[in-house]
């Protein structure tokens, strides 16, 4: 059959060949048109999918932000009710306002249950948002072990609250003083009396301050760094996660004093009330809020005058936490103040220029005094006054000015070393690299121009040779 194909094609008429060519061309055009429509349809479908994913992502992000705001409001509302309920117990021991205290505890319980439900809803939307960002179909793929532990921890924090029930707690005896000094602690029996246990409502109420993490989440969602498309795009391109740590660093960079003042004020009031709550003992004089604030200040600044000291395990734990946070805050404050007191780049240049000018002037003055003393010694030597008092005094001046000149030169060298810092070195290196790249580009451009000139010179040379040959031919013809 293969051998017969050329014969068949050879026997076909030209009209049949033309019709076959037209048919094949029509098939090719139809297939290309079909493929183009298919590609266009695929592109339209992909664009629709991307638009749908972006709209869904924006909706999930707004839902997470709204739920975070509601959770923050509910959490702060529960903390305020807890403080009011404990203050009623502190003032009247809860006997005269039992119904009010019970209603407040019931409201706190309802808000805690609502907070737990909102926490589950928030994390569901957050997982969905993570799946949308990473093109994951199943939400269980995005649920890691660390995230599951964080969800359980958040639920535990939201669940701890004073229960709407009265508990009878047996407490150790107290010696009746408002706040005991550390000098009264002596024997083991006295320690057992002093380190009494706190009220159950206080023990369940203080962990509610851990709900303040909801404020951090609200700050994260409402930060302009998160809403700025440019910063987020640059973060994605440079593999920098725009998370809460980045936002905290951002605010500490642009508003360092304001951020530290807000944090210190919130922690100060929480620590003062925690001292007041921990030192509560029924039937005894309760510590005032002013004394609790004073104790918080002296503990926060790690001064510790010793006029007041906590007498419960809870109070000592709060004091240790306040002292630790005070040390960290003091270190941050010192770092912020040192950065604020530093010269800026232009100010540093001006300061170093003035110092350099003054040192150069002092160096010239010292050099002139050295020459003056040397000339004076030469005159005295010419007059034969080698051992006179004036000769010794002039020699002492000469050595003094030589040492001064050496010291000034050393200061100039040190000043030149301080002018070159890591930032300056990197800046100079970047500038040198830029100049080097520009120089290389100019050299490449010049090399291209030289190559073009060489080509033109070669063409001119060829033209001149052809003209010379033509002239030789014409001269030969004329001679003949």
Cβ-based neighbours of 106, under 8 Å, separated by 6 or more: 164
Final residue belonging to a domain, choices 111, 136, 166: 166
Q: Please, what is the average pLDDT of the chain? A: 78
pLDDT category, 66, cuts 50, 70, 90? very high
Coil/strand/helix, residue 343: coil
Final residue belonging to a domain, choices 116, 147, 166: 166
pLDDT in tens, 396-450: 888 899 999 999 888 888 887 776 565 666 667 778 888 888 898 889 989 998 9
pLDDT for 89 beyond 70: yes
Helix runs in 196-255, H state only: 200-205, 213-221, 224-227, 229-237, 244-254
Question: Is 367 among the domain residues?
Answer: yes
- Number of independent structural domains in the chain: 2
pLDDT category, 352, cuts 50, 70, 90? confident
Taking the C-alpha atoms of residue 87 and residue 198, their distance in angstroms, rounded to an integer, is 14
How far lies 283's CA from each of 173, 272, 334, in Å? Answer: 11, 21, 44
Q: Residue 76: give the domain boundaries.
A: 32-166
How far lies 463's CA from each of 458, 469, 476, in Å? Answer: 9, 10, 20
Question: Is 88 among the domain residues?
Answer: yes
pLDDT for 373 beyond 80: yes
pLDDT for 123 beyond 60: yes
Question: Is 259 among the domain residues?
Answer: no
Final residue belonging to a domain, choices 166, 198, 213: 166
Highest mean pLDDT pick, 22-36, 65-79, 324-338: 65-79
Question: Is 25 among the domain residues?
Answer: no
Question: Is 16 among the domain residues?
Answer: no
Taking the C-alpha atoms of residue 368 and residue 401, their distance in angstroms, rounded to an integer, is 9
Lowest mean per-residue pLDDT among 98-107, 126-135, 177-186, 257-266: 177-186
Question: Is 160 among the domain residues?
Answer: yes
Question: Is 464 among the domain residues?
Answer: no
Coil/strand/helix, residue 135: coil
- Partnered with residue 196 across adjacent β-strands are 312
Taking the C-alpha atoms of residue 257 and residue 265, their distance in angstroms, rounded to an integer, is 12
Lowest mean per-residue pLDDT among 16-25, 158-167, 270-279, 400-409: 16-25
The pLDDT of 175-182, averaged and rounded, is: 38
Coil/strand/helix, residue 383: coil
pLDDT for 117 beyond 90: yes
Highest mean pLDDT pick, 65-79, 92-106, 311-325, 382-396: 65-79
Question: Is 152 among the domain residues?
Answer: yes
Residue 36: exposure state from Cβ atoms within 10 A (0-12, 13-18, ≥19) = exposed
Report the pLDDT value the prediction gives residue 10, as an integer from 0 to 100: 43
Contact between 355 and 337 (Cβ < 8 Å)? no
Residue that wins the pLDDT comparison between 120 and 94: 120
The pLDDT of 36-50, averaged and rounded, is: 57
């Amino acid at each position: 059959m293969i051998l017969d194909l050329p014969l068949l094609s050879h026997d076909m008429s030209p009209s049949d060949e033309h019709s076959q060519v037209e048919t094949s061309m029509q098939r090719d055009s139809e297939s290309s048109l079909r493929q183009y429509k298919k590609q266009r349809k695929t592109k339209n479908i992909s664009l629709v999918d991307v638009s749908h994913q972006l709209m869904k992502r924006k909706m999930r992000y707004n839902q997470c932000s709204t739920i975070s705001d509601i959770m923050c409001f509910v959490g702060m509302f529960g903390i305020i009710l807890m403080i009011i309920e404990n203050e009623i117990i502190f003032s009247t021991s809860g006997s005269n306002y039992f119904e009010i205290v019970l209603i407040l505890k019931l409201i706190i319980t309802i808000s805690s249950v609502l907070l737990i439900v909102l926490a589950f809803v928030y994390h569901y939307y957050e997982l969905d948002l993570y799946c949308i960002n990473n093109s994951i179909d199943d939400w269980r793929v995005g649920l890691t072990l660390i995230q599951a532990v964080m969800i359980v921890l958040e639920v535990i924090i939201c669940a701890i609250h004073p229960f709407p029930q009265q508990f009878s707690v047996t407490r150790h005896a107290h010696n009746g003083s408002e706040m005991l000094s550390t000098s009264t602690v002596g024997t083991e029996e006295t320690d057992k009396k002093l380190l009494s246990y706190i009220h159950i409502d206080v023990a369940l109420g203080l962990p509610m301050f851990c709900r303040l993490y909801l404020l951090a989440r609200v700050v994260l969602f409402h930060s302009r760094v998160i809403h700025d498309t440019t910063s987020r795009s640059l973060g994605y391109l440079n593999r920098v996660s725009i998370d809460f740590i980045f936002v905290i660093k951002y605010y500490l960079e642009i508003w360092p004093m304001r951020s530290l003042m807000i944090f210190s004020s919130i922690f100060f009031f929480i620590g003062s009330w925690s001292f007041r709550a921990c030192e509560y003992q029924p039937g005894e004089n309760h510590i005032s809020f002013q004394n609790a604030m004073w104790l918080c200040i002296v503990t926060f600044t790690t001064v510790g005058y010793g006029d007041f000291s906590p007498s419960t395990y809870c109070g000592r734990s709060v004091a240790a936490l306040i002292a630790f946070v005070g040390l960290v805050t003091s270190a941050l404050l010192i770092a912020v103040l040192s950065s604020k007191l530093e010269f800026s780049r232009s100010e540093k240049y001006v300061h170093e220029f003035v110092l350099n000018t003054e040192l150069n002037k002092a160096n010239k003055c010292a050099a002139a005094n050295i020459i003056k003393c040397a000339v004076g010694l030469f005159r005295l030597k010419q007059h034969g006054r080698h051992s006179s008092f004036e000769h010794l005094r002039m020699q002492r001046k000469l050595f003094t000015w030589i040492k001064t000149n050496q010291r000034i030169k050393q200061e100039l060298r040190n000043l030149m070393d301080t002018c070159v810092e890591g930032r300056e070195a990197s800046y100079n290196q970047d500038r040198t690299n830029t100049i080097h790249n520009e120089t290389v580009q100019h050299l490449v451009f010049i090399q291209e121009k030289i190559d073009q000139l060489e080509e033109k010179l070669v063409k001119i040379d060829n033209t001149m040779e052809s003209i010379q040959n033509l002239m030789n031919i014409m001269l030969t013809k004329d001679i003949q």
